[in-house]
């Protein structure tokens, strides 16, 4: 929403006490913003410490998924929930490095710990899960390509692991091919310069979703 100049000036001219009351009322309605401000203004934790805590949670929850998820639908639901937790943290900390590292960790841990089950799910039932994994992998490549090239070295091993896990599952491998994801980009770490344009074009054609 775009605010008119007159409205902004009127808000700035309000008495300090009135502005404070309005701010607190707004924060009660916008929990993500409240959490972000708390982290920036009050919390003694660093971005790295928050990232480390979430890494432990991702590993633990990925392991629990292999024990709790009785169907591919349950696994996808749990995966989306975990992805949402990562997204929420990124909004709070603005941790661009963590956005890649945590999502890479999530994909690798879930595919690794659930590897036996994934081989038994039917292609029809596992289609949404497979597309979700490939779309996330594609997005990570786009994010990495947008960062400084030095960061690629930090992600190279995890990217290669993800590529191998996708290669080892027939459905994931087939879904990658159908949705324009070259697994060699993951295993070699050679990401095309126009990866974002490729992603946009594929989405317009109905892929990666």
In DSSP notation, 22-67 reads: HHHHHHHH-HHHHHHHHHHHT----HHHHHHHHHHHHHHHHHHHHH
34 and 77, same domain (yes or no): no
The answer on pLDDT for 28 being more than 90 is no
62 and 9, same domain (yes or no): no
Cα diameter, the chain: 65
106 and 16, same domain (yes or no): no
Measured between alpha carbons, how far is 93 from 91 in angstroms, rounded to an integer?
A: 6
108 and 144, same domain (yes or no): yes
Q: What's residue 1's pLDDT?
A: 67
Judge whether 59 lies within some domain. yes
DSSP 195: H
8 and 104, same domain (yes or no): no
The answer on pLDDT for 19 being more than 90 is no
**Tokens found for residue 204:** 């317009």
33 and 135, same domain (yes or no): no
Say if residues 65 and 112 touch (Cβ distance below 8 Å): no
28 and 126, same domain (yes or no): no
144 and 95, same domain (yes or no): yes
- Per the structure, the complete domain to which residue 11 belongs is given by 1-44
For the chain, first and last CA: distance in Å?
Answer: 28
Judge whether 108 lies within some domain. yes
165 and 96, same domain (yes or no): yes
What are the CA-CA distances from residue 14 to residues 1, 3, 5, 11, 21 (Å)?
Answer: 21, 16, 15, 5, 11
Judge whether 209 lies within some domain. no
73 and 3, same domain (yes or no): no
Measured between alpha carbons, how far is 186 from 163 in angstroms, rounded to an integer?
A: 5
Number of structural domains found in the chain: 2
What φ, ψ does residue 164 adopt, rounded to 5°? -65, -40
Judge whether 91 lies within some domain. yes
The answer on pLDDT for 141 being more than 90 is yes
- Structure confidence at residue 123 as a pLDDT band (50, 70, 90): confident
What are the CA-CA distances from residue 124 to residues 64, 73, 114, 129, 205 (Å)?
Answer: 24, 11, 18, 10, 21
Q: What is the pLDDT of residues 160-179, one digit of tens each?
A: 999 999 999 999 999 999 99
Of 77, 44, 78, which Cα lies nearest the Cα of 60? 78
96 and 24, same domain (yes or no): no
Q: Is the pTM of this model over 0.85?
A: yes
Judge whether 197 lies within some domain. yes
CB atoms within 10 A of CB 126: 24
CB atoms within 10 A of CB 21: 12
124 and 101, same domain (yes or no): yes
């Amino acid at each position: 929403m775009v605010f008119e100049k007159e409205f902004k000036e009127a808000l700035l001219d309000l008495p300090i006490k009135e502005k404070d009351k309005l701010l607190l009322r707004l924060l009660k309605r916008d929990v993500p913003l409240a959490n972000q401000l708390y982290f920036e203004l009050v919390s003694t934790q660093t971005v790295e410490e928050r990232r480390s805590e979430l890494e432990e949670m991702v590993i633990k929850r990925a392991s629990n998924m292999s024990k709790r998820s009785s169907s591919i639908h349950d696994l996808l639901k749990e995966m989306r929930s975990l992805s949402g937790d990562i997204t929420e943290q990124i909004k709070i900390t603005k941790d661009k490095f963590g956005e890649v590292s945590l999502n890479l960790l999530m994909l690798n841990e879930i595919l690794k710990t659930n590897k036996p089950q994934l081989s038994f799910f039917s292609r029809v039932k596992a289609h949404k899960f497979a597309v979700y994994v490939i779309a996330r992998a594609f997005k990570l490549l786009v994010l990495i390509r947008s960062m400084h090239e030095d960061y690629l070295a930090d992600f190279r091993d995890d990217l290669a692991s993800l590529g191998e896990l996708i290669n080892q599952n027939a459905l994931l491998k087939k879904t990658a091919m159908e949705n324009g994801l070259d697994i060699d980009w993951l295993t070699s770490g050679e990401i095309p310069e126009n990866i974002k344009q490729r992603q946009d074009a594929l989405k317009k054609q109905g892929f990666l979703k």
